[in-house]
Amino acid sequence: MKRLRGQQGVILDMPQEGLCGFDYQFFQDIAEKTFALSRYSLPKNSTLSFSIEAVSKKEIARLNKKYIGKNSPTDILSFPTFSEEVLAKINFSKPIFLGEIIICPDVIREDSHKDGVSYDREMTFVFSHGILHLLGYEHSEEMFALQDKVCDNGK
């Protein structure tokens, strides 16, 4: 497990370099951009952490059924530690573990082909989506607009 700390105090726990064909910095950059665009202003010395894991289509389908009740593979699952109400009251000057993100690279790659976008862009969009769920965002125009902004800022 590698812990990578970004400039904004975001710590990303990843099991291995080259996750889904991307290096640590790829995911760290997306995390930093997503947090910077979110509704939360983080103190300069804040420490936010979360983990990311990649799994097979079979495993993500199993998890999707167990936790979401859908019997099919999906691109990403987010397991936030806190509800939006609790996050709104948190003192971000203390270390915070936001939760866990599980992605399925095979589904993300298939979706990139269906959507006619690069794998990099689809991964950026999906990973940002998972982070926003950890921050209490629900599916909305605001959430999808933030994801688009993260994608437009590079990657």
Q: How far apart are CA 20 and CA 121, in angstroms?
A: 13
Q: Are 99 and 76 in contact (CB under 8 A)?
A: no
pLDDT at 91 over 60: yes
Position 15 confidence tier, pLDDT thresholds 50, 70, 90 = low
Position 4 confidence tier, pLDDT thresholds 50, 70, 90 = very low
pLDDT at 102 over 60: yes
| Residue that the structure tokens 């099919």 belong to | 72
Domains, in order of start, for the chain: 2-152 (3.40.390.30)
Give the per-residue pLDDT at 121: 94
Position 117 confidence tier, pLDDT thresholds 50, 70, 90 = very high
| Residue that the structure tokens 């991964």 belong to | 123
Give the per-residue pLDDT at 100: 93
- pLDDT tens for 22-35 read 887 888 889 888 98
| Mean pLDDT for all residues in the chain | 85
3-state secondary structure labels for all residues of the chain: CEEEECCCCEEEEECCCCHHHCCHHHHHHHHHHHHHHCCCCCCCCCCEEEEEEECCHHHHHHHHHHHHCCCCCCCEEEEECCCHHHHHHCCCCCCEEEEEEEECHHHHHHHHHHHCCCHHHHHHHHHHHHHHHHCCCCCCHHHHHHHHHHHHCCC
Give the per-residue pLDDT at 18: 56
- pLDDT tens for 28-61 read 889 888 988 888 777 677 778 888 888 999 999 9
